[in-house]
Chains A and B, each alone.
Chain A
Amino acid sequence: MRKFSLVEFSVEHPKLVVVLSVLITLLFMTQFPKMRTDTNPKNMLPATSDVRVWNDEVEKTFGLYEDMIALGIVNEKGILNKDTLAKIRRITDEILKLKGVAARDVSSFTTIDNVTVEGGTLRVAPLMTTVPEDTGGIEYLGKMLYDNPLFLNRIISKDGKTTAIYVPLEKGGNGKEIADKIREIVKKENGDERYYIAGDPVARDTFGAEMFKLMAIFAPIAGMIMLFVRYLMFRDLFLSITLMMDAMISIVWSMGLLIGLGFPIHIMSSMAPVFLMAIATDSIHIFNEFYFRYRETKDKKKAIIETMHAVSRPVRYTALATAAGFAVLLFMNIIPVKVFGGLVAFGTISLRILSFSFIPAMFTFVKEEKIAKIAGTEDTSMGRSSQFLRKLAGFGAHHPKNTVMVGLVLFVIAVVGLSRITVNNNLVEWFKKGSDVRVADSVMNKALGGTSLGYVVAIAKDDDYIKTPEAMTYIEGLQRRLEKLPVVGKTTSVVDYVKRINRVLHDDDPKYDIVPETGEMIGQYLFLFSMSAKPSDLDNVVDYPFRRANIWVQLKTWDAQAMKSVIEAVDDYKKANPTPMEMKPSGIAYFNLVWNHEVLWDMVKGFVLALIVVFGILAFDFRSIKWAIVGYTPLLFTILLVYGVVGFTGKDFDMPISVLSTLSLGMAVDFAIHFVSRLRQRLKEAPGESLSDALLWTAARPGKGIMRNALLFAASFAVMIFAPLTPYITVGAFIVSMMLLSAVMTLIYLPALVTLMQGWLFKGEKI
Chain B
Amino acid sequence: MKRSLIIVAAIAVSVALCGSLFAVTPDEMMKKSQAAFLYQGKDFKARVMMKLVSKGGQERVREMTMLRKNYGPAGGEQKYFIYFFQPADVKDMTFMVYKYPGRDADRWLFVPAINMVRRIAAKDKYSSFVGSDFTYEDVSGRDLQEDTHSLVKEEKYGGKDCYVVKSTPKAADMEYSYKLSWIDKADFLPLKEEYYDKRGDLYKVFTADEVKDVKGFPTITKRTMKNLQSGHMTEVTYAKADYNVGIEDSLFSERYLKQPPKKWIE
Contacts and interface: CB of A to CB of B under 8 A. Distances in A.
B55 A60 contact: yes
A123 B54 CA distance: 26
A153 to B, nearest CB: 26
Given A530-B128, A545-B58, A96 B122 contact: no
Contacts of B119: 120-122
A32 B95 CA distance: 65
A518 B112 CA distance: 12
Interface stretch (A421-429, A519-527, A739-747, A756-764): A519-527
Given A104-B229, A527-B87, A544-B60, A123 B113 contact: no
A17 B209 CA distance: 74
Nearest to B229: A104
A63 B59 CA distance: 13
Interface in B87-121: 87, 89-90, 93, 95, 109, 111-114, 116, 118-121
A538 B131 contact: yes
Interface string B29-68: 0000000000000000000000010111011100000000
Interface size classification for chain B? 35 or more
B123 A125 contact: yes
Interface string B122-149: 1100011111110000000000000000
A63 B128 contact: no
B49 to A, nearest CB: 16
Given A170-B229, A535-B232, A544-B59, A524 B112 contact: yes
* Chain A CB within 10 Å, residue with most, of B55, B84, B95: B55
A539 B54 contact: yes
Contacts of A60: 54-56
B56 A528 contact: no
Contacts of A534: 128
Interface string A78-114: 0000000000000000001111001110000000000
Nearest to A518: B113
Contact of A99 (B89, B199, B229): B199
A-B residue pairs, 3 tightest by C-beta:
A523-B89, A530-B131, A544-B58
Interface in A329-352: none
A649 interface: no
A534 B89 CA distance: 21
Interface in A497-533: 505, 516, 518-525, 527-528, 530-533
Contacts of B120: 121-124, 528, 531-532
Contacts of B113: 516, 518, 520-521, 523-524
A61 interface: yes
A289 interface: no
A531 B136 CA distance: 10
A126 B122 CA distance: 9
B122 A528 contact: no
A103 B175 CA distance: 10
B230 interface: yes
Contacts of A467: 89
Given A124-B122, A544-B60, 14 more contacts: A103-B198, A103-B229, A118-B121, A122-B118, A122-B119, A129-B123, A524-B112, A527-B87, A527-B130, A528-B109, A528-B120, A530-B128, A531-B130, A533-B127
A124 B127 contact: yes
Nearest to A467: B89
Contact of B114 (A126, A505, A532): A505
B27 interface: no
Contacts of B230: 63, 104, 536
A169 to B, nearest CB: 12
Nearest to B197: A103
Contacts of B109: 122, 528, 531
A63 B121 contact: no
Contacts of B175: 104
Given A103-B198, A544-B60, A531 B55 contact: no
A496 interface: no
Contacts of B95: 531
B196 to A, nearest CB: 12
A516 B111 CA distance: 13
Contacts of A379: none
B59 to A, nearest CB: 6
Contacts of A246: none
A144 to B, nearest CB: 14
A114 to B, nearest CB: 11
A205 interface: no
15 contacts: A104-B203, A120-B118, A121-B118, A121-B119, A122-B109, A122-B118, A464-B89, A505-B118, A519-B89, A520-B89, A524-B89, A524-B93, A524-B111, A531-B122, A531-B129
A282 interface: no
Interface in B196-234: 197-199, 203, 227, 229-230, 232
